[in-house]
Structure 1
Amino acid sequence: MKKMTGAEIFVESLHQEGVELIFGYLGAKVISIYDVLYDADIKHIMPHHEQGGIHAADGYARSTGKVGVCITTSGPGATNLVTGLATANMDSVPVVAFTGQVAHSMIGTDGFQEADIKGVTLPITKNNYIVDDVKNLARVIKEAFYIAQTGRPGPVLVDLPQDVLSAETEFNYPAAVSIPGYKPTYQGNLLQIKKAAELINQAHKPVIYAGGGVIISGANEQLRQLAAKAEIPVTTTLTGIGSFDEKNSLSLGMLGMHGTTEANLAMTNADLIIALGARFDDRVTGELDSFAPEARIIHVDIDPAEISKLVKADIPIVGDVKRVLEDLNPLVQEKKHGQWLREIQEWRGLERRRGSGKTGKLLPGEIIEEIDNLTKGEALITTEVGQHQMWAAHHYSFSKPRSFITSGGLGTMGYGFPAAIGVQLGNPGADVFCLAGDGSFQMNIQELATVAKNKLPIKIIIFNNQYLGMVRQWQELFFDKRYSATCLRRQEGCPPRCSGPGENCPEMIPDFVQVAKGYGIKGKRVSRPEEIRPALQEALDINEAYLLDFIIEEEENVFPMVPAGGSLDDMILRQDIEH
C-alpha cells in the first residue's frame, strides 16, 4: 500500500467523512495541508479573521445539521478560535476545528507561534486532541467527527504538529469508532416514560418547555403531535425557537428574562412542566427558589449531567428527545385543557412589545414584522447579540427548525454576521438575513470581504441606535440613565457625563453604507417608516448581498424584562415604564 503524508491523510480523511466545505485561514504550520487542498475537490472558504471562520462553521452546522469544519495555523491562529469554540460548546453545536502546531521537538520551548491550544480549550470543547504520531492521525480524525455529532453534540479540536503532517505512513481509515466510557444513551427508560405519561394524563395545567435539543434530535414533528394530542401549550428557549410553529395557537413564544408574559406566567402557574432538550439555564428560570413552585417536572435530555443540575426532576429520562417522544406519545391520552388555555389567553394581552416611538425614528418591531411579511416566515435568520436578538425572537414568526441561528448560552457579539456566511453556503437557495446591532456588527465587519468575494446574497439588516443597546437599557432602568461607555458616538468633545441622546450629539461612526460600498456591496440608509418595505423589497429583488442601515429609536427597549435575580412573574412591562 502506498504511503501518504500526514497532510494527504488529513485531506483524504475529510473525504471519508463526506466533508464538502471547510473554513480556513492559512499559516506556516498548515501550509502542507493547503498544498494538498490545492488539488482537492473540497470547497475552501477563507474568512478574514479566524473567529469569523469558526462562527461560519458553526452557522453552517446549526442550519444544516452537518458537522462544521474549520482550520487555522498555530499560535494566534489557534487562539483566535477560542470564542467560537466556547460559543459552539454552550449551544451544543457539532464543529471540528483543526489547528496547526509546532513540531514535537519544539513543543514546550516557547517556539515561534507556539501555544498550548489543547490546554487552553480543554474546558470549552467536548473533547480535544494533539496528534502524537502520523499513524494515529486517521483514527483521531474519525473519533473527532464521531464525538462532535453523537450524543449531545459539541466542538472537538484536533491539534496537528508540523512533523506529523510531513511524516509518512500507510493510510487506513477506520470503519467504526470504539471509545471506552463514551456510550451515549439514545433510548429512554420505558418505565420512566410510562410514569411521565401518567403525569401528563393527570395534569390540569401542563406546559411543554422545548429547548435546542428538540431541533438537534429532529423531534419537531413528535413535539407537535404531543402538543396537539393532549392540548398542551408550548414555550421555547432562545435556541429552541423553530422547534414549534409559532403560528400554532398552542405556541406561547419564548420564555425567560425577555420572554412573553404568557410563557412566563404559564410556567409560574403550571402544575406540570415537560422539559425537552432544555437545561433550565438562568435566563429561563429567573430566581430558582420561585421557579414553577407548583409544578412537577419531567426532564428529557440526552446529557445525564443536565438532569436535576439546577431544577430537580420528578421524572428524569435520559435519552434522545425524538426517540423518547416516539415511545411517549402513544401512551398519552387525548385531552382538552380549555380552562387552562383561556387563562393563558388572558395573559397574552398584558403587555405591549412594540414601542410607540419617542422621536419619530423607526421602531425595530415594524422592521422585523415587514421582513416576516415579505419572506412569509421562510427566511433563515441569524442575529448578533443584544436587543435586536430579542426583537427578532418576538417579531418574526418562526415555523421550522434550523431557521433561527443565534448565540444563546455564551451571548457572543460578533457571531451573527459570519454565521450567516455559513448558513448561506449551507443553504444556497435560501433567503438569509443577518440582523445586527451597530455595535456587534463591527466586531467582525471584515467579513464583508468574504461575502463580497464569494458573491453571497446575504441581506444585512443593521438596527442602528448608536448604543450598545441592551446594556444601555439596563443603565436606563437600573442605573439612573448613567450611560457609561455604551454610547457608540461618544468622542473627544462630548460632555464628561451622558444621560441620553441630544441635539448636539456627534455624527455616527462609521457610515455603514459607505463601508459596504468599499467592499463592493450595495447598501442604503433608511430613516422613515414609509421607506421600510420598499428598501427591504429592493434588497430581496437582487441576487447579491445588500446592507440596510435602519436608524431606529435610540432608547427603544425590549419588554417584557425580568430583572436579574427576579422571578418569572415579576416582569417589567412596557407600560410600567412609559406611564
Structure 2
Amino acid sequence: MKFSDLLLFDAKERGIEHFFGIPGSGFPMDAMESGKKVDVNFIHVAHESTAAIAAAYYGDEKNSPGLALTVKGVGAGNLAGGVANTYFERKPLLCVCEAGPEKQKIDLVQVMDHFKLFESISSFQANINHSKAREQLKSAILSSIDGRPSASVINITSDYQDNDCGEIPDYKKNNLKNTFIDKLTISKVSNRISLSKRPLILLGADVERDKATQELILFVEKIGGSVLVNMDARGIIPENHPRWAGVFTGNYNLETIEGEIEERSDLIILIGADSMMTHIPWSFNKPTIEIVAREEYNSTSINPEIRINGNLKTILKILNDQVKQSNGFSLNEINEIKTKVLRHFVRDEQAIFTVQDIIESIKNIKNEDTTIITETGAFIRFFEHLLPVNKYGSYLGSSGGRTMGLTIPASIGYGLAKPDTPKIAIGADGSTLMRLGELEVFSRNNIVMPIVIINDMALGTMKARQNSRGFDSHGLNFVPVDFSKIAEAVGLYGVKVNTPESFYDALKKSMTADKTTIIDARVDQESYWSGFAPSIGDI
C-alpha cells in the first residue's frame, strides 16, 4: 500500500480515530483520503501548534501516539511550537511533515532543515523511504511510547517516490527493555532508608508507567514517609491519603509545602521523579536517594547519595521486604505543615468573587469520574492546594511546560478521545486570547464541556511578579473581552458571571448542556493578583 494508506490504516489499527492539522494540497490531502477509507477523521484546526497538542492529548488517552500533519516551511515551524508543549508535558505524538528535497543544493521556497528544527524536542526522526517505510513507521510509534512519552517525526520529502510500503507493522513482537537491578545497591538503599527518622518521598509519573502504585503506597506507609508528587503525577497516591502532603513544583522557599516538609525531613527519597518537573534546579540540601526507572534518565537532585536504576515495581517490592517499619513523620506533623501553608490560600473575605469560589463550585459539582484540564496562570497554585486529585489521569495540568495556551488544544484532543467522560476545562483570559480561533473546532466537532475562563483582564501572574519586584504596574492589561459573546459567535453557549452563586449555577447547567459552554468568570482583580505571591512562598 502507499504510505498515506499505511499511515492511516495503522492509525485505525492502533485505535486512533481522529488526526489533526491544517490541510495542504499534497500529502495531507492524500492522508485525508486514506483516513476517509477507514473512518479516521481529519480535524482541521486554526494553528499547527494546536494540531500537535490536540493530537498528543488525544493519543495519550488512547495509549498510542496521536497523529498530526503539516505542510513544509512555516507550517512545520508552527507545528514545532506545539511539539515543544508535548515534549514538556510528556505526551505521545507522531508528526508527519511535508519537507523539501532530501538532497538540496540551493535555497528553496518554504524549505528548512526539519532535523535541526525538531532535534531537541523529538525522540525519533526519519525521511520516509518506501522500501523502509513499514519499519520506519514502527520505529516512530515505538519510540514515542518507550518510557516517558515523546514525539516522533517522519518527513515526506518533495523528491520522495511513493510505492508499495508494505503492510501494517506488528507491534506485539516488541521486546520490552529489561533492566538489571544490582542487589548490592538495593541493599545499601534499604539500609540507608531504615536509618531515616523523617523520610520525604518525591514521586513521579514513572511510578504509574511501571505499574508500581500498590507497592509504592505500601512503601510509604511502612517507612512513615511524607509524600510530594511531581506536577504530572497527581493522583498516583490519592490526595486524601493522610501521608500525601502536596505538589512539588520547585518552589523551595519556606512557607511553601515543599520548603516546610524539607525543613523537617532528614532524607529525601525520589521515586520515578522527573527532572523536567521543577521550575528551577534542585535547591534542597538534605541527602537524597534516587530510584530511577531507567539509567538514561537524568537525576533530579544534585549528587544523590545513592542512585539505583530499574523497574520501579520490582525495586519497591524488594524494598518492602527489606526496610524496617518506622513511624517516620507523624500524621499530626504532616497536617500541621499543610495547615501552616494553607493559610496563604484562604479566601479574601472582602472580595466578591475569587478563584477559591470557582474551586469550591467545581468540588461540589464534579464527581469521581470528572477530568480537570488546565494550564498555568495566577490561579494554578490554588488548584494544586485546594482541589484534591484522587485518581491518576483525572487532572491534566501544565507540568514541565508550565505554559499558557494549553487548555483549549488539550481539551480538543481529550474531548474527542473521551466524549462520554465528564470534564471541566479551566483557563485564563490571556491564554484564551492565544487560542480564540480554536473555539470553532468545539462547535464543528460537537465537543461538549464547560470551559471556565478566569478573567482578570490582565496577565495576572506577571502583574504579581511586577509588584513583588517593586515595579509599577504597566504593560500587562487587556481591554475587557466578552468571551461569552465570542462563544455565541461560533455556535457555542456563553455566559458571563461575577458572583459565586452565578458561577455555580452556570457550571452546573453546563455539565448537562448539549454544547460547550464558555463561562467568562470575572474574578476580583486585586484579590487575584495579590494572592499569587503568597502561593509561591514569596511572603
Question: Normalized against structure 1, the TM-score is what?
Answer: 0.85
Select the residue among 485, 488, 492 that pairs with 2:475.
485
| Pair 1:400-2:391 in alignment | yes
Partner of 1:545: 516
Partner of 1:86: 84
Q: Aligned Cα RMSD in Å?
A: 2.7
Secondary structure in structure 2 of the residue aligned to 1:169? coil
Select the residue among 418, 422, 425 that pairs with 1:434.
425
Q: CA deviation at 1:527?
A: 0.6
Select the residue among 41, 44, 47 that pairs with 1:43.
41
User: Within 5 Å, which residues of 2 pair with 1:153-192?
Assistant: 153-164=149-160, 167-169=162-164, 171-175=166-170, 184=177, 186=179, 188-192=181-185
Partner of 1:500: none
Q: CA deviation at 1:267?
A: 1.9
Q: Distance in 2 between matches of 1:383 and 1:276?
A: 25
| Pair 1:325-2:316 in alignment | yes
Q: Is the 8 Å Cα contact of residues 133 and 165 (structure 2) preserved in structure 1?
A: no
Q: Is the 8 Å Cα contact of residues 344 and 535 (structure 2) preserved in structure 1?
A: no
Corresponding letter in the other structure for 2:137: I
User: Within 5 Å, which residues of 2 pair with 1:252-271?
Assistant: 252-257=245-250, 261-271=256-266
| Pair 1:99-2:97 in alignment | yes
Partner of 1:128: 125
Q: CA deviation at 1:34?
A: 2.3
| Pair 1:142-2:135 in alignment | no
Q: Is the 8 Å Cα contact of residues 187 and 323 (structure 1) preserved in structure 2?
A: no
Task: Out of 353-362 and 189-198, give the one that drifted further.
Answer: 353-362
Q: Is the 8 Å Cα contact of residues 381 and 535 (structure 2) preserved in structure 1?
A: no
5+ long unaligned stretches in structure 2? none
Q: Is the 8 Å Cα contact of residues 230 and 274 (structure 2) preserved in structure 1?
A: no
Q: CA deviation at 1:104?
A: 4.0
Corresponding letter in the other structure for 1:249: P
Partner of 1:72: 70
Q: Distance in 2 between matches of 1:470 and 1:186?
A: 43
Select the residue among 349, 361, 371 that pairs with 1:370.
361
Q: Is the 8 Å Cα contact of residues 361 and 553 (structure 1) preserved in structure 2?
A: yes
Q: Distance in 2 between matches of 1:243 and 1:533?
A: 29
User: Within 5 Å, which residues of 2 pair with 1:267-282?
Assistant: 267-280=262-275
Q: Distance in 2 between matches of 1:543 and 1:247?
A: 33
Partner of 1:241: 234
Partner of 1:501: none
Select the residue among 482, 493, 503 that pairs with 1:532.
503
Q: Distance in 2 between matches of 1:108 and 1:91?
A: 37
User: Within 5 Å, which residues of 2 pair with 1:493-532?
Assistant: 508=480, 510-532=481-503
- Assess, with a 3 A threshold, how the Cα gap between structure 1 residues 178 and 256 changes in structure 2: closer, same or farther: same
Q: Distance in 1 between matches of 2:17 and 2:525?
A: 43
Q: CA deviation at 1:327?
A: 3.6
Partner of 1:336: 327
Q: CA deviation at 1:390?
A: 2.3
- Assess, with a 3 A threshold, how the Cα gap between structure 1 residues 315 and 370 changes in structure 2: closer, same or farther: same
Corresponding letter in the other structure for 2:511: L
Question: Normalized against structure 2, the TM-score is what?
Answer: 0.91
Task: Out of 278-287 and 551-560, give the one that drifted further.
Answer: 278-287
Partner of 2:17: 20
Partner of 2:450: 459
Q: CA deviation digits over 1:546-576, x for unaligned, max 9?
A: 11111112132225455xxxxxxxx334xxx
Q: Distance in 2 between matches of 1:451 and 1:413?
A: 19
Task: Out of 467-476 and 149-158, give the one that drifted further.
Answer: 149-158
Partner of 1:231: 224
Q: CA deviation at 1:257?
A: 4.8
Corresponding letter in the other structure for 2:77: T
Q: Is the 8 Å Cα contact of residues 438 and 466 (structure 1) preserved in structure 2?
A: yes
Report the count of equivalent residues.
532
